[in-house]
Amino acid sequence: MVNNLTMNRANMIASALGQIPQKVIWRYSGKTPETLAPNTKLYDWIPQNGHPKTKAFITHGGTNGLYEAIYHGVPMVGLPLFAYQPDNLVHMKTKGAAVFLDINDMTSKDLVEALKTVINNPT
């Protein structure tokens, strides 16, 4: 379902990612967003096992990704899509490991603030 992002939603996410000072790798295989910034690189596939320089993980809340982020101590920004994912992310938020956003209602500003929160306060 992530492959089916609307161009408006992809542009909103790309714009948000361009507003943080960190380098970003984004697993995305749709049409390149017009708002893609120089700090963001798109890849069709990225190995999911954590890199030691990872500061934040934007996740849909799938179990495997959550376990890997927990194992590597990487704080998360959760954008659940369906099924069990919202419940997983509520648990992560309760434990202080994630910020939870609604992908259908969030703005670019919301995503930037969530990223700043987990990057600057990774408790």
CA distance 38 to 52: 22
Kindly list the distances between the CA atom of residue 47 and the CA atoms of 11, 26, 51, 114, 117, in Å, as whole numbers in the listed order: 24, 11, 9, 24, 25
Instruction: Give the whole-angstrom CA distance, residue 31 versus residue 58.
Output: 20
pLDDT on residue 1: 45
Per-residue pLDDT tens over the stretch 47-102: 777 788 899 999 999 999 999 999 999 999 999 988 999 999 999 999 999 999 99
Q: What does the mean pLDDT of the chain come to?
A: 92
Domains and CATH numbers, the chain: 2-120 (3.40.50.2000)
- The amino acid present at 21, given as its one-letter code, is P
What is the phi/psi pair of residue 115, to 5°? -65, -45
- Mean pLDDT across 18-42: 95
Q: Can you tell me which residue has the tokens 């959550």?
A: 66
**First vs last C-alpha separation in the chain:** 30
Q: Give me the phi and psi of 71, to 5 degrees please.
A: -55, -40
Q: Whole-structure pTM over 0.75, yes or no?
A: yes
Q: Which residue has the tokens 């659940």?
A: 80
Residue 55 confidence (pLDDT): 93
